[in-house]
Structure 1
């Protein structure tokens, strides 16, 4: 099936259902963007409130959401008196007004090429690491800078799913879904190996080819077909400048 997207005219396009670079499909076939894998248990980080997963019904039903995960909450303590929430990673916005702590490693990581991510991030694709909500907590919110935007209502409100950012520097921090948080690795001050993506999703909507050898799904992971990395068709977008072209006046 021909693919209607851009390809570098000097690239060696490969035919077939997916890239010629060997990448076996991941063993887990249950994980989706907002649903943790059944094979990865959610750790007990000390949340003892109700409901077990805050805002899991979506919308704005959680009126006291700021006192629940993934925001300003106090974890329970174990028998040794220490908090069950063990911080492994921290993230902050560009100006440092908003900071979050993360316990344990992400459930998954991915690159998303959907049109909505392209427009909301002003980038070719989104890179996100996926954590359970109860593995995230707010550390700092100077000048009440925490800002939520609902892509459903198109208003600045905590209406799940929503995008969370800093109202001062405008740096995006994560997406809050019904069950998970999709955080952006560029705010961690470094990129651990555990943050490397396992796949690309919505690659059928891509605006650029990415030759990294990991699976490329046309839509959601394991819910769509695998695609090849390079297109068979040179697209109609502005063509790439060849090395032998003279600079335009």
Structure 2
């Protein structure tokens, strides 16, 4: 069902269904217990694994900067978000992280040239497959995704979409989380109207109008924390 906050933002607390991609091994969600307890994890989702009946149908490709590590992804993400937690700020060297969420069984490793796949555990501070953990390339150091206990949080900047095509709608973040830890304001949530017209320029083309969707800002996790007011107000204009 959908809920609304006091400012009229709506969000759904009903999870999207998990697609059947043909994983018939055990456990149903590998490494769901966390830690380093999963045996032979490299031959289970989201790494090398076989889909029964070819139910896994790749829709997207995600790869590191040098191309040594590449994953393929089935279907659209369950959700997308901006995370402002201090861990994401530090590990990404950026004000916040943009992530799209997929079931583990919707992700599969297809290339690991020179054994470049690298794990880093934020819980142990070691280069180990200790879930939850960070996945990156050991050659070019590009980050690819976070492996959680039940899902993969992938980074859209590592996806390769058709040239000059916009990022798919399902990759657009539905909200900000851990906004109380932000180091910069992002003014996209407290709007008079549901959509704010902005001008956007794609390299090599003219300016085009786009509709900018307002996004709620949660102090912590989505739907399980307080909503945060924006502290900055800007005005938009078409006179550029």
Q: TM-score range by the shorter chain?
A: 0.7 to 0.9
Cα deviation, residue 228, structure 1: 1.3
SS at match of 1:147: strand
SS at match of 1:173: strand
Match of 2:199 in 1: none
Alpha-carbon RMSD across the aligned residues, in angstroms, is 1.5
Match of 1:86 in 2: 57
- Superposition TM-score, scaled by structure 2 size: 0.80
Cα deviation, residue 90, structure 1: 0.7
Cα deviation, residue 23, structure 1: 5.7
Contact 1:23 1:215 in 2 (8 A): no
Partners in 2 of 1:58 and 1:124 — Cα distance?
28
Match of 1:230 in 2: 231
Q: What is the total number of aligned residue pairs between the two structures?
A: 199
Contact 1:147 1:165 in 2 (8 A): yes
Alignment of 1:37-76 (within 5 A): 37=15, 40-76=16-52
1:24 aligns with 2:9: yes
Larger Rg: 1
Contact 1:23 1:214 in 2 (8 A): no
SS at match of 1:128: strand
- With CA pairs under 8 Å and 6+ residues apart, which has the higher RCO, 1 or 2? 1
Tell me, which stretches of 5 or more residues in structure 1 are unaligned?
A: 1-16, 31-36, 78-82, 233-249
Alignment of 1:1-249 (within 5 A): 24-26=9-11, 28-29=12-13, 37=15, 40-77=16-53, 83-190=54-161, 191-212=167-188, 213-230=214-231
Runs of 4+ displaced beyond 6 Å: none
Cα deviation, residue 231, structure 1: 5.2
Contact 1:216 1:226 in 2 (8 A): yes
Cα deviation, residue 94, structure 1: 0.4
SS at match of 2:127: coil
Tell me, which stretches of 5 or more residues in structure 2 are unaligned?
A: 162-166, 189-213, 234-240
Contact 1:58 1:178 in 2 (8 A): yes
- Per-residue CA deviations over 1:56-93 (Å, capped at 9, x if unaligned) read 0000001200000000001101xxxxx10011111000
SS at match of 1:45: coil
Cα deviation, residue 24, structure 1: 1.7
- Superposition TM-score, scaled by structure 1 size: 0.77
SS at match of 1:116: helix
Partners in 2 of 1:229 and 1:52 — Cα distance?
41
Contact 2:187 2:232 in 1 (8 A): no
